[in-house]
Structure 1
């Protein structure tokens, strides 16, 4: 009898982590894997274009409404319950740390379905982050925890997970980078925005602390004005960030900065090419810390903490508070060849999805 699996995704970062699952699941005739898309991100730039590029076949689409976190989680649980009841999976897999992740975990728990968590064990130790609460609760409910980096192993043991519940598999997001190397290289984005390889700083900002107040936005403008005389800047502006600049009547001031190119969110292939050929990256993203580490591109992460310490301990990532002078100093070090030389963490080799499914096959016997 085939073992039935439901894989739940909901956001753009989730999609990047599951691109190889259906293809590799086909190698396991004993597994029947279906993908459920909650619809947490569902528009052309944040969802559709990624699904099309990755050729991800979605089996069920929940079509949730754009509501508060509580309403969103509740709606997912209700709609997912019907699919689980009909399909009767032996395992439900959830990904990452978004609201769709937590909703799927609660649904599995209440329906007495075994739960697997991909990207398990990551911790920022900052409970003010909604994602941290999602990670903690999802890991507590999980029967099997798939770990991307070694810090996750100890974090899971600290909450009482046994060795049989923990699988160190590597990073499925890196599988996507490896698999789509040719498509990334073929992107014409550098020509489109008139940038040369290795000559620009790529910037992304979207976390509330960095973009939700006028004071925070003025700090971004000040940073750009200080580094623009010596550096081209490519600012991939998140819709949340753009709306904030407009709300506080600062977008015009931002757009007038010399040597600053503002671009809309890009498809996956284009954005990865921008990362690959950047002089350095400035971000507050989680996943970009990992992508820059794998691509060996210097990364400055403007946060007080990170749930991905391997990118600092082993990779190219530098974690720091938003201090313009310190950021300028790091950029200067990078330009003078003084930046740290990172290495690629263990098992970030493009085969993590294979290890996940192999473990699931063994787990469900």
Structure 2
């Protein structure tokens, strides 16, 4: 079950492996939390998901409570009709929580991909979602050994927790194209050897006027040192308009604004960047594997391996410009070597699903 662009990145390589298997009939269900083309249809196409494959479940409600309730009700109705043997959810978005709750209320086995990540910050909606989904999941697939140990410390059985690697990296390694990234740079009018790629969408950075103003000031200071490309997430664009900051952003010299980029364009552009700035969890991972210096504008991260083994640093908006200037004096980062982030995670998950499903051959 998927609901957002990051979910698509995680589901696509696993779906491909499962579609080729002779022991299961996978069905990709898209509970439509993201509907913008660059956040949904285009990444599906970039990652080889057939346009007619996902079962699309539409949502209409606005407001957090109403929308979450609609997600649960809509997905519960689908499960009641189809009665799958197992539901697989990805990551930590609201649709992940809704689908997990719906599955367990109907007594359907639940597997959580990207389980065990913890920031320790329960003000983050994603942290609450992770904790609740992991609490009810039957099988946990982790991206790192640290996440596996976290789940064991929380009382989960060793047999139910599996360190398999990172599906995001499967998608990354199968899609990134530096030459294509150079073409995207040409289209945007930036030097393919010297630019910063930035993204911001977390509530802590864009949902209040003060926080968003801090981001705008930071971008103005960063642009004095290096040109910046800023794809605008729909949430960020709405906040800029709501607080009257869009015009201020438009007048920052050296800042190139664009709508959300399709996945292949974005990831290939990231591979060319001299440095990246973000509040995205996935981008921290991608920068580490690509060997791109990353400044994460957050107080914490649920992906500490990107700090210890990768090229990521946590920064505040006020400190970021000075740290970026320091990074520009350094050589480019080297690609990180993080265990099992090797592009083969989908195969490991599929084999574990096969051996734990009780089916060894033939379609059920």
Q: Which TM bucket (shorter chain)?
A: over 0.9
Aligned pair partner of 2:75 in 57, 73, 80: 80
**Following the alignment from structure 2 to structure 1, what is the Cα–Cα distance between the partners of residues 329 and 36?**
42
**Following the alignment from structure 2 to structure 1, what is the Cα–Cα distance between the partners of residues 138 and 271?**
36
Q: 123-132 or 247-256: which moved more?
A: 247-256
8 Å Cα contact 1:69-1:99 kept in structure 2: no
The CA deviation at 1:49 is 1.7
| Deviation digits for residues 302-324 of structure 1 (CA, Å, limit 9, x no counterpart) | 1011111111111100012222x
The CA deviation at 1:258 is 1.1
Question: In the alignment, does 2:309 pair up with 1:350?
Answer: no
Question: In the alignment, does 2:3 pair up with 1:31?
Answer: no
Q: Specify the SS of the correspondent of 1:186.
A: helix
8 Å Cα contact 1:176-1:350 kept in structure 2: yes
TM-score (norm 1): 0.92
**Following the alignment from structure 2 to structure 1, what is the Cα–Cα distance between the partners of residues 190 and 36?**
28
**Following the alignment from structure 1 to structure 2, what is the Cα–Cα distance between the partners of residues 334 and 312?**
15
Q: What residue number does 1:207 align with? A: 202
Question: In the alignment, does 2:364 pair up with 1:364?
Answer: no
The CA deviation at 1:85 is 2.6
Q: 75-84 or 152-161: which moved more?
A: 75-84
The CA deviation at 1:338 is 6.6
8 Å Cα contact 1:40-1:66 kept in structure 2: no
Q: Specify the SS of the correspondent of 1:203.
A: strand
8 Å Cα contact 2:291-2:333 kept in structure 1: no
| Deviation digits for residues 109-162 of structure 1 (CA, Å, limit 9, x no counterpart) | 111111100000001111111111110010011110000112211210122111
| Deviation digits for residues 173-231 of structure 1 (CA, Å, limit 9, x no counterpart) | 1101111234x643531111111223011111111221222322332232233232331
Aligned pair partner of 1:139 in 129, 134, 156: 134
Q: Specify the SS of the correspondent of 1:81.
A: helix
The CA deviation at 1:341 is 5.2
Q: What residue number does 2:362 align with? A: none
Q: What residue number does 1:172 align with? A: 167
Q: Specify the SS of the correspondent of 1:116.
A: strand
8 Å Cα contact 1:124-1:132 kept in structure 2: yes
Instruction: Say if 1:159 and 1:364 are closer, same or farther in 2 by CA, change over 3 A.
Output: same
Q: Which runs of 5+ in 2 are unaligned?
A: 359-364
Aligned pair partner of 1:244 in 239, 245, 253: 239
Q: Which runs of 4+ in 1 moved over 6 A?
A: none
Q: Specify the SS of the correspondent of 2:253.
A: coil
8 Å Cα contact 1:236-1:262 kept in structure 2: yes
RMSD: 1.7
**Following the alignment from structure 2 to structure 1, what is the Cα–Cα distance between the partners of residues 100 and 161?**
17
Q: What residue number does 1:13 align with? A: 6
Which residues in structure 2 correspond to 1:214-225 (within 5 Å)? Answer: 214-225=209-220
Q: What residue number does 1:227 align with? A: 222
Q: What residue number does 1:53 align with? A: 46
**Following the alignment from structure 2 to structure 1, what is the Cα–Cα distance between the partners of residues 54 and 325?**
49
Q: Specify the SS of the correspondent of 1:333.
A: helix
Aligned pair partner of 1:259 in 241, 254, 274: 254
Q: Which runs of 5+ in 1 are unaligned?
A: 1-7
Instruction: Say if 1:241 and 1:81 are closer, same or farther in 2 by CA, change over 3 A.
Output: closer
TM-score (norm 2): 0.93
8 Å Cα contact 1:304-1:321 kept in structure 2: yes
Instruction: Say if 1:67 and 1:218 are closer, same or farther in 2 by CA, change over 3 A.
Output: closer
8 Å Cα contact 1:314-1:342 kept in structure 2: no
8 Å Cα contact 2:276-2:293 kept in structure 1: yes
Q: How many residues align?
A: 355
Which residues in structure 2 correspond to 1:280-291 (within 5 Å)? Answer: 280-291=275-286
Q: What residue number does 1:107 align with? A: 102
Q: Specify the SS of the correspondent of 2:114.
A: strand
8 Å Cα contact 1:299-1:316 kept in structure 2: yes
